[in-house]
Amino acid sequence: MEKKLLHFTLNGDPKTVAVKPGRTLVQVLREDLGMTGTKRCCNSGACSSCSVLVDGQVVNACSVLACQVENKEVSTVEGVAEGGTLHPLQESFLDEGGLQCGFCTPGMIMAAQELLSRNLEPTAEDVRHQIAGNLCRCTGYVKIVNSILTAAKRMREAQS
């Protein structure tokens, strides 16, 4: 099938890529743009390892046709740390032990980032609900939930 030009913003930078119409966003990010921070794990929208933000909303990049993000803003885990300093979410994942093998971590962080962008005072239940789609085989989620709550707390403190 003919390739078509796709224009979108990736972590703030304008991108133009020629892609086949049948390609998914995760393929374009990982294969065509070499942005391998976003992981492909189940390729069926059931594990959310490939979570990225599209116009600020978290989606499964394996279940989004690349051509559907035309003119939209996509952010990935590579864009979370700014100016060489880690995001509070990343710091608290390290402090709370919110990761082990790390394969689900980029997706977790993107899902958490969406939550905190809407609600800086989440309860543990809010957090568990937000990451219900994100599978993790290592941690049992306990320390991931703690990490996100700690990040929220730190971000609140930084604001006040």
Partner 1 sequence: MKPYSVLGKPIRRVDGVEKVTGAAKYTVDVQLPGMLEGRIFRSPHPHAKILNVDVTKARALPGVKAVITAADTLKKPYGNWRRYEHLLDEYPLAWDKVRFIGDEIAAVAAVDEDVAEEALTLIDVEYELLPAVFDPVEAMKDGAPAIHEGATVDHNVSETRHIEYGDVDEAFSRCDRVREDEFTLHPVAHAAMEPHASVATTGFSGRVTIWTSTQVPYYIQILLAGALGLEEGKVRVIRPHVGGAWGGKIEMFKDQYCAARLSQMAGRPVRLEYTREEEFATTRRRTPMKYYLKTGYMKDGRLVAKEARTILDGGAYNGMGPTALYLTGFFQAFPYSIPNYRYNGYHVYTNKSPSSSMRGFGGPQAEFTCDSQLDMIAEDLGMDPAELRLKNSMTPGYEIPGYCKVASCGIQECIERSMESTGWREKRGKMPHGKGIGMGCYGFMSGGVFNWINTPYAFSGAMIRMGVDGFVDVYVGSSEIGQGSDTVMAQIAAEELGVPMDMVRVTSGDTSICPPDLGAWGSRQTLMTGNAVKMAAQDLREQLFEVARGMMMPNIVYAFEAKDGRIFLKERPKRGVDLFEVVKVAVRGQEGQQLIGRGFYTPHGKGMVSPAFSFGAQVSQVEIDLETGKVHMDQVTTAHDCGQVINELGVEGQLEGAFVMGQGYTLAENLVTEEGQVLNPSFVDYKLMRAPDVPVKFESLLVETFEPEGPFGAKEAGEGLTNPNAGCIANAIYDAVGVRIKDMPITPEKILKALEEKKAKEKA
Partner 2 sequence: MMDFDVTSVKTLDEALKALSEYGDDAKVIAGGQSLLNILKQGLMAPEILVDIKGVAELDGLQIGASIRIGANTSHRTLEDASALDETWPVLREMEHDLASVQIRNWGTMGGNLCIADPTGDPAPVLMAYDAEAEIAGPEGKRRLPLEAFFVDYYETVLEPEELLTAVEAPAPPPRSGVAHEKFRNVEGDAPIVVAGVRLTLTEDHRRVEDVRIALGGVAPVPIRALEAEKVLRGQEPSDEALAEAAATAPGETAPIPDITASEAYKKKLVRVLVHRAAGRALERAKGT
Q: Which residues of this chain interact with partner 2, rule CB under 8 A? A: 1-2, 20-24, 43-45, 48, 51, 54, 57-60, 63-65, 67-68, 70, 111, 114, 129-130, 132-134
Q: Is 15 helix (H, G, I), strand (E, B) or coil?
A: strand
From partner 2, partner 1, none, which one binds at residue 5 (CB under 5 to 8 Å depending on kind)?
none
Q: Give the residues lining the site for partner 1 (CB under 8 A).
A: 30, 34-44, 46-47, 49, 76-78, 80-81, 86, 89-90, 93-97, 99-106, 109, 124-125, 127-129, 131-145
Q: Report the distance separating Cα 75 and Cα 117, nearest Å.
A: 13
Nearer to partner 2, 94 or 124 (CB): 124
For the bound state, the minimum distance from the C-beta of residue 122 to partner 2, rounded and expressed in Å, comes to 13
89: closest CA among 59, 111, 121, 73? 111
Q: What is the SS3 assignment for 63-78?
A: HCEHHHHCCCEEECHH
Pairing of strands 51-54, 57-60: antiparallel
